[in-house]
Homo-oligomer: A and B are copies of this chain.
Amino acid sequence: MEIMRVVDELVCTRRVPGLQAASLRILASQQGVLSVATDPVGVPPGKWVYTTSGSAARLAMKDARITTDLTICGIIDNWDE
């Protein structure tokens, strides 16, 4: 799992049906590269989280049919950048 920081919500008007109404977050990696993740936990911007990728990203969603390859798994307590 990767350690990333939540930067913002993602706003998009058009998307594929497989994502349903899943919440999407923009995350920054430790190197500052931005990605998009599904968020079943409900994490506010600024928090450090760890994420799972690949097929595990779908298993981490409450509904495993969500078409994602990156999902927030938990909030890390007391993380110093």
Give me the interface of A with B, judged by CB distance under 8 Å: 1-3, 10-16, 18-19, 24, 26, 30-31, 33-37, 40-41, 50, 52-60, 65, 67-71, 73-78
Contacts and interface: CB of A to CB of B under 8 A. Distances in A.
Given A16-B40, A41-B14, A58-B56, A35 B74 contact: no
A27 B77 CA distance: 16
A69 B1 CA distance: 6
Number of copies of this kind of chain in the complex: 5
A71 B69 CA distance: 11
A50 B36 contact: yes
B53 A69 contact: yes
Contacts of A73: 15-16, 18-19, 67
